[in-house]
Amino acid sequence: MIEKYCSTNDFDNSYRLCLGLKPFSNDWFDKCAEIKLLAVSQIKNDGSKIKEIRTFFNTLESDGINLKTVHTENICCLWDDLSCAQIQLAHTLPYAECVVALNDFISYVETHCEKTKSNGTLKGVKTELAALHKKEGYKYEQESKYLEATNVYDALYGIADTRTKSWCKIRSLICLIKQNKNVDEDDVRKSLSYVGFAKEKKDLSYRYGIWLIKHCGAKTASRFVNDFLSNENELVDFCHNSYIKEAEKTLADLNRKISRLKTREASLEEAQNLADNLSSYDHQISTYLPDVHDKIESLRRLITSYILSKCFEEENYELAMKLLNESGKNWYEDNIFFRNVAIVCLGMAETDKINR
C-alpha cells in the first residue's frame, strides 16, 4: 500500500501508513525518511521545503529517534536537501539577515546532525558564508568603509579555516593602512610570510612601505623596502636619496658646530660633546657621502686643541691633565705636548691642586 501511494505521489497517505509501522519495525523512521525525500523533491519553494524537513526531523526526535546517531542514506539525503534550501533561501536575503540565517542553520546542524554527516554539511555552509563575507568585505572597501570591512573580516576569521584566517589578517591590515592607522611591522612581516595570496601580499607590502616612509622616515622604511620591495625602484631610490639628504643635514650640523669652535663661541661642554660624538657623525655622514671620512677624522686635533685652550681659560687643569694622559703621547717626544703638560702642571701648582 505504501508503495502504491508513492507511485501516485500520494505522499501524505504513504507517510501516514509508514508511521503505523512503528510498533513492528526498528527502521520505520528510515522508510518515512525515504517517503519524505520523495515528497520534498516535489516542493519548489525553498521556505516550504525547509519547513517540511525540519518538521519531519522534529517528529522523529519527538518519537525518540536521536538524529545525532543516525547516518542512513535517506536521512543524509534529507540533510543535503535541507542544506541546499537553506543556502538558496539565505542568498535571497540582505547580507546581515543572510549571515544570521546561515549561522542559525550551523547551530541547528551542530545540535541535530550526526557528526560524520555534519562535518561535510558544515563545511559546505561555512564555505558559502565565507564567500558571502568576502564579497561584503570587498564591497565595503570599494566604498571606503574600512571599519565595516574589518568587522566583516573579523566575523569571517571566526569561522574560517587556517588559510582563510591568513587571508583575513592580510585584508584587515590593508584596511588599517587605508585608514592611516598605526600598524605593527611584525604583524605585517608575519602576514607576508604566509604561503600564497601573492596579489594581496603585494598590495600590503607596497601600502605599508609608503606608510612607513610617510610616518617613520626613510631610515626606518629602508630595511622593509629592501626586504620586500626591492623591485620597486622608485621606493628604493627614494629611501636612498632620503639617507643622502639626512647625511647632508647632519654634515651641515657638524659644520655649524665646527664654525663655533673657530669663532671661539663654543663652550667647553659643547666641545666635549662634539669630541664624544665625532665617530657618530662620521658614521652617519661617510656612509652616504663620499670623500668626507678623512676630513672628519682630521677634526679631532682641532677639537682637542680647542678643549685644552678652554680648560686653560677656565683653569680646569684636572680635565686638561686627563685629556693629555689619554692622548698616549710622551712629553719628551713632542714639544707642543710638553708645553701643554708644563702649562697644566704650572696651573695646578698655582691653584694648589698638584699632588706627588
For the segment 200-239, what is each residue's pLDDT rounded down to a tens digit? 999 999 999 989 888 888 778 888 988 888 888 888 887 7
pLDDT at position 1 is: 47
CA atoms of 157 and 55, how far apart (whole Å):
33
pLDDT at position 25 is: 54
pLDDT at position 92 is: 92
Using a pLDDT cut of 70, give the percent of the chain over it. Answer: 90
**pLDDT-derived band at 260, boundaries 50, 70, 90:** very high
pLDDT at position 7 is: 47
CA atoms of 185 and 192, how far apart (whole Å):
10
- Asked if residues 275 and 304 have their Cβ atoms less than 8 Å apart, the reply is yes
Q: Pick the closest to residue 221 from 201, 200, 237 (CA basis).
A: 237
- All 3 cell numbers of residue 291? 670623500
**pLDDT-derived band at 8, boundaries 50, 70, 90:** very low
Return the half-sphere exposure (C-beta side, CA atoms, 13 A cut-off) of residue 322: 7
Q: 3-class DSSP state for residue 167?
A: helix
CA atoms of 240 and 249, how far apart (whole Å):
14
Indicate the pTM of the whole model: 0.64
Q: 3-class DSSP state for residue 351?
A: coil
